[in-house]
Chains A and B, each alone.
Chain A
Amino acid sequence: MLKRALAIILLLIVGYWLAQGLAGVPFGQDKMLVGQYYLDNVKQQTGAVNAVTAVVVNYRGFDTLGEVTVLFIASTGVGALLWRKKKKRTAKTEGSIVLTTGTRLLVPFVMLFGAYIFIHGHLTPGGGFPGGATIATAFLLLYLAFITYEIPHKGFEKTEGLAGMGYVIVGLIGLSIGGYFLFDWIWQTWNFGTENVGRLLSGGFIPIIYTIIGLKVGTELSGIIDNMLKEEVSE
């Protein structure tokens, strides 16, 4: 009781402190310094209509590379923590026939929608991370509806590694052509798609990188699900 009361009082103090700090910040006013530059130049410099993905992939590509690395480490860490010699699915009861049939019907559409999200990252909201998470959701559905389903491990782990390498390779090609890492060579050097900004075949290397990231995130999260849904079998 005393612990809880102390915690509430402490939280109230911290909240009041934060509110005092934020009280002086004006909301709804034009205070953009760097943001205005992004909004003014995003179409000519990157070819993307979606300013967020342009910033995330083009202007600040290092952050995205770091995020992908964090995800990779998380997946590897889960794999290392839950490493056992013989593992099996633990589900004992079959799902009902409505559930399995519905899953069978829905999974291709969920995957299609995930692919749509990461391919259209430069045009619509979303990008590689939501698209990859949607694809992982399809695999989670398969795992939850069927008792024996298991992702094809060989192909999955290879795809994951190849996608991660692909991102770095795209960056390194930019380094050799343009002089710095993650230089958008498709847009800046080839001028590919300059005449159809706002359509699918534009946006420089954003669709390519987002396809890579989508595959990587999808396979990674599916791998985490796979690791967590298994248990050791005693022999």
Chain B
Amino acid sequence: MNALAAIGEILVLLGTFFYFLSALGLIRMPDVYNRMQTSTKSATLGSLGVLVGVGIWALGTDFGSIPWLTKTIVIAVFLLLTNPISAHALIRAAYKSGIPLWEGSVVDKYREHLEAKEREEVEAPEAPEETPAEEGGEE
């Protein structure tokens, strides 16, 4: 066993640990938003660790080659780009379909923003068409 294989094994171990944390967060957290927060972040990081770790691990063995690492890095970049977008879409859809925040939450700026916009529209009906403000994460 050489250094590359050892590094790969450590990365895979780290990745699976973060997978475990992600699954734990899914059970442990109180509401949808907290659950999404814990599970998506650690699952993304875990996948990156496992994928890149497998590539490096294979390099250290006798059947491994550079294409292994290339493929795993391509998959890792794809996951890194797509996972946050899907998490964003899920959370936004959850908020828009009216799922309440955890009762311990103290501030909801997005609701305030929406209400302010509604009030503005009531006061000035013929307002010049404002660009629909895009509020990103409500995390």
- A residues with a Cβ closer than 8 A to B are 93-99, 102, 105-106, 109
- Contact segment of B16-24, B34-42, B80-88: B80-88
Contacts of B134 in A (CB 8 A): 96-98
What are 17 A-B interface contacts by the 8 Å CB criterion?
A94-B132, A95-B89, A96-B88, A96-B89, A96-B134, A97-B134, A97-B136, A98-B85, A98-B88, A98-B89, A98-B136, A99-B89, A99-B92, A102-B85, A106-B82, A106-B85, A109-B78
Contacts of A97 in B (CB 8 A): 134, 136
State in angstroms the CA–CA spacing of A99 and B89 once bound together. Answer: 7
Q: How far in angstroms is the closest Cβ of chain A from B78?
A: 8
From A93, A99, A106, B88 is in contact (CB under 8 Å) with A99
From B78, B82, B92, A96 is in contact (CB under 8 Å) with B92
State in angstroms the CA–CA spacing of A94 and B96 once bound together. Answer: 12
7 extra interface residue pairs, beta carbon distance < 8 Å, beyond A99-B85, A106-B81, A106-B85: A94-B132, A95-B89, A96-B89, A96-B92, A98-B88, A105-B81, A109-B78
Size bracket, chain B contacts:
10 to 19
The residue of chain A having its C-beta at the shortest distance from the C-beta of B96 within the complex is A93
Contacts of A93 in B (CB 8 A): 96
State in angstroms the CA–CA spacing of A105 and B81 once bound together. Answer: 9
CB-CB nearest 4 A-B residue pairs: A102-B85, A97-B134, A98-B88, A99-B89
Q: How far in angstroms is the closest Cβ of chain B from A141?
A: 10
- B136-A102 in contact (CB<8A): no
The residue of chain B having its C-beta at the shortest distance from the C-beta of A101 within the complex is B85
- B81-A96 in contact (CB<8A): no
State in angstroms the CA–CA spacing of A106 and B81 once bound together. Answer: 9
State in angstroms the CA–CA spacing of A99 and B82 once bound together. Answer: 10
Contacts of B78 in A (CB 8 A): 109
Contacts of B136 in A (CB 8 A): 96-98
Q: How far in angstroms is the closest Cβ of chain B from A95?
A: 8
State in angstroms the CA–CA spacing of A144 and B26 once bound together. Answer: 27
The residue of chain B having its C-beta at the shortest distance from the C-beta of A94 within the complex is B132
Contacts of A95 in B (CB 8 A): 89
State in angstroms the CA–CA spacing of A175 and B48 once bound together. Answer: 51
State in angstroms the CA–CA spacing of A102 and B84 once bound together. Answer: 10
Q: How far in angstroms is the closest Cβ of chain A from B90?
A: 11
Q: How far in angstroms is the closest Cβ of chain B from A134?
A: 12
Which B residues between 85 and 101 are near A, CB-CB below 8 angstroms? 85, 88-89, 92, 96
Which B residues between 22 and 36 are near A, CB-CB below 8 angstroms? none
State in angstroms the CA–CA spacing of A95 and B88 once bound together. Answer: 11
Q: How far in angstroms is the closest Cβ of chain A from B61?
A: 22
- A102-B92 in contact (CB<8A): no
Contacts of A99 in B (CB 8 A): 85, 88-89, 92
Contacts of A105 in B (CB 8 A): 81
The residue of chain A having its C-beta at the shortest distance from the C-beta of B78 within the complex is A109
State in angstroms the CA–CA spacing of A106 and B136 once bound together. Answer: 19
